[in-house]
Structure 1
Amino acid sequence: MTPEELLAVEFELHRPRLRAVAYRMLGSLAEADDAVQEAWLRLSRNDSGEIANLAAWLTTVVGRVCLDLLRARTAHREQPLPEHLPDPVVGADDAGDPEHQALLADAVGLALQVVLHSLAPAERLAFVLHDMFGLPFEQIGPLVDRTPGAAKKLASRARRRVRAAPHPGGDPAEHRRAVDAFRNAAAGGDFDALLAILDPDVLLRADTGAHPLQTVRGAATVAGQATGFRRGGGAGATMRPVLINGLPGLAGVRDGRPISLMSFTVAGGRIAGIDILADPDRLGRLDLPGFDDRPDPVTSAGPRSS
């Protein structure tokens, strides 16, 4: 095996971690893969023998690439990321492919991903690299043009925002019971059953792609919306259980193709948040295991050709 082939094999060992870093930073699976590919290109152009800690070197490269992308979005005055839901990581709600299930188990919940994308780019980078991936502030500081102490303060501010946000309950069985109850009540148009499973202050966010993120708050209003899901989906529309970022969720399906993805935040046995991705363009770009036979880029291996 040539030195180049050995380097490619070693890079593959780091790919899942690098993709996880980029996904948490960018919220886009396609952009995350592009950032990881850029790290591979930079590695292949460098003398890897001079890199003392390859994992740390690759993580900082991916972090820098992601930070540059986020700053470019701001410079071009694109819509702020909180106006659109991040890409969900979706899997079939069964044993499925072990590699994909491992990715789902490692994925942060979509609600937390939304919170991350409300942070300023430097705050997000400091929090993600330190709190989620254990990189020391001595390495993070230069990435954000700050001293280690200032980078630590960035992460601390981000941490307070993250802790203040609603988080899914720690009991997967409770989460599944709540989602199943919602599915049955919505399918049957049972308004009272929906009120029973929804938190009084539940927040629904819907990303249709054509408009900024739409929000609805309050159990009665959300229940009224949910009873219309079946009618809105058209004839033959159903809701199929799936895993979304490692937690039970639902896919609205018509003619075997997904028309929406629903992620839930459950607290105290009730649904406190619902995030719906119904943008047909983005759904069409996602690789959704169980819906078609396209390869899943999240779990594919091997440095891509440039």
Structure 2
Amino acid sequence: MITVNHLTKRYGDFTAVDDISFTARPGSVTGFLGPNGAGKSTAMRMMTGLTPPTSGEAHVLGRRYADLPNPGRHVGVMLDASAQHPGRTGREVLTLAARTIGVDATAVARGLATVGLTDEEAGRRVRNYSLGMRQRLGLAAALVGDPEVLVLDEPANGLDPQGIHWMRGLLRDFADAGGTVLLSSHLLSEVQIIADELVIIGNGRIVAEGTTTQLLEQQGTRVRSLDDDALEVALRAANIDVARTPAGLVAQAPAAAVGRVALDARIVLTDLAAGSAGGLEELFLTLTAADSREGIAA
């Protein structure tokens, strides 16, 4: 578990992180989202003891990260996959990480296999790695101590579609086994698929927090059927506001309520999902428009 209480970081007159509080729970993936410069990386650095907070605190597994005995055995951290010695081989990088936290050589072979780096690739110098291979190596280093918590900043950066699919499964399995995952990513479609809960920040402050389903339902429910005209009539008769869009109907009610109306009206649904067609991306842009460099997109 990660518990963040009133965490704040100021640099002179600039407040990078402004009084944020949230919890990332065991058995779940928490998406930590925000525009560039919103304070995500600074917050994650404070959680993992790399940057001292101005005020507030962050606890991992009930303690400050710095107070954990051998923290690498409890928390796997990947904040910058490019921060690896370019002159060492992948195997050497992972071996040093394993020795630092006191795990044996079998953990190195297991870690390389887990992230899909072959023996030949593990023998190459890191300077010759692609960005995606560096991401895999960084994740192997985060996992080498068999931690209970993962703190990952843009772990899918540089991965191809197959690699992204693989990482999604890996993190989902980790959480389903009782682990805690805090994940920062700009790949919003992937976050929407994998994240159980979301924390969205803008200008250093939390602008939305809750389960993925709850936050997406704020945009209504997207629904299509074999008879949208009849469904629209049934929804309005149930006092549910509904609008037509190119993607189908958008009803201002939870998906369960929409499905119940359709069932009662004997209308066959072909699509039912929380949120509008834009999903998490639309929600994110709406909530963070004031903090975006581009402002509100057309």
Instruction: Pick the structure with greater CA Rg.
Output: 2
* TM-score normalised to structure 1 length: 0.25
TM superposition score normalised by structure 2: 0.25
Question: 1 or 2, which has the higher strand percentage?
Answer: 2
